[in-house]
Structures are given as structure tokens and as C-alpha cells.
């Protein structure tokens, strides 16, 4: 496939816009542009640092299709937030915490509700990554000189 750098940049912008849709909703609810800006910039950085290199690797190995791109996009979307927010048990502190009335830790140990909350955020950000990567692939395919 012959894809120019311009097409890849355009596809990256489209993919970041897809990932910024929840930021748009939050911006409309909060009547502030900051959520949209933050979502867009984070998606753009993810695309530059993780998305483009992984897509080029898939294309080089001749595995680039919408399903592999969506799978890699889901991993690229969920892995950074998963690593940053991984719940670590700290029983030595013996503290408990609640969020919105749900008990998250008891004596420093995470409850099943905490793990479900963690998995829900991974699914959310993984879904954003998958949708963005699929949009990236379809844009690149539509604008390429040869099929992927």
C-alpha cells in the first residue's frame, strides 16, 4: 500500500476526533471547551506515540485490516490508563474508601466493586481506542492509492 504522510496525518486527526466525542458531550454538559480539548489532545498523543507505529508494524507484517487495527487500538487505548490507575492493595494502612456510596476498599483491600469499576474504565477507553483505530484504517484505505 502506498500511503503518504499527509494521508496518515489526516487519518490521525479523524481518529482523534472520533475519540474526542465523549469530550464533546462533557463539554456541552459543562458548558466549557476544556473536556473536548483534553480528550482531543490525549487521543492525538496516543495516536502519535502508539497508533502510528503499531499501524506501520501491522502494515509491514501485512496484517493491517479493520479487525487487527481495532484490536490494537483497544489495547493502545486501555493500556496507559490501566497502568496509571491499577488498584494496588495496601493492607498496612487499614483504611476504607467509598465512591458514590460503593465500598471500594475495606482494610486496604479492594472489593469486587472496585475491580468492576476498574474493568469498566478499561472497556470505555479500549472502546474509544478501537473506534478510533477503525476510523483511522477506513480513512487510510479510502484515501490510499492501493488497497490495504
Run means of pLDDT, 10 residues per run, the chain, 148 residues: 81 93 93 94 93 92 93 94 83 71 78 89 96 95 72
Q: How far apart are the two ends of the chain, measured CA to CA in Å?
A: 5
Identify whether the C-beta of residue 81 lies closer than 8 Å to the C-beta of residue 122.
Answer: yes
Interstrand relation of 102-106 and 109-110 (parallel, antiparallel or unpaired): antiparallel
Domain ranges of the chain: 5-143
The helix/strand/coil state of 72 is helix
Is the Cα dihedral 87, 114, 112, 42 positive or negative? negative
The single residue listed with the C-alpha cell 484515501 is 143
Supply the pLDDT for residue 146. 58
Q: Is 51 exposed, middle or buried (0-12, 13-18, 19+ CB in 10 A)?
A: buried
Supply the pLDDT for residue 60. 92
Q: Which residue, 130, 10, 124, is CA-closest to 67?
A: 130
Identify whether the C-beta of residue 71 lies closer than 8 Å to the C-beta of residue 130.
Answer: yes
Cell of 69: 487495527
Supply the pLDDT for residue 1. 54
Beta partners for 106?
A: 109
Amino acid at each position: 500500500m502506498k500511503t503518504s504522510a499527509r494521508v496518515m496525518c489526516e487519518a490521525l486527526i479523524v481518529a482523534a476526533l472520533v475519540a474526542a466525542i465523549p469530550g464533546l458531550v462533557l463539554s456541552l454538559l459543562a458548558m466549557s471547551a476544556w473536556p473536548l480539548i483534553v480528550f482531543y489532545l490525549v487521543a492525538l498523543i496516543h495516536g502519535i506515540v502508539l497508533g502510528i507505529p503499531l499501524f506501520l508494524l501491522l502494515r509491514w507484517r501485512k496484517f493491517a485490516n479493520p479487525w487487527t487495527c481495532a484490536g490494537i487500538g483497544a489495547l493502545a487505548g486501555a493500556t496507559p490508563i490501566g497502568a496509571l490507575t491499577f488498584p494496588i492493595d495496601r493492607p498496612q494502612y487499614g483504611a476504607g474508601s467509598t465512591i458514590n456510596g460503593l465500598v471500594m476498599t475495606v482494610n486496604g483491600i479492594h472489593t469486587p466493586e472496585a475491580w468492576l469499576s476498574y474493568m469498566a474504565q478499561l472497556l470505555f477507553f479500549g472502546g474509544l481506542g478501537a473506534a478510533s483505530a477503525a476510523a483511522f484504517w477506513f480513512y487510510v484505505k479510502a484515501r490510499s492509492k492501493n488497497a490495504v
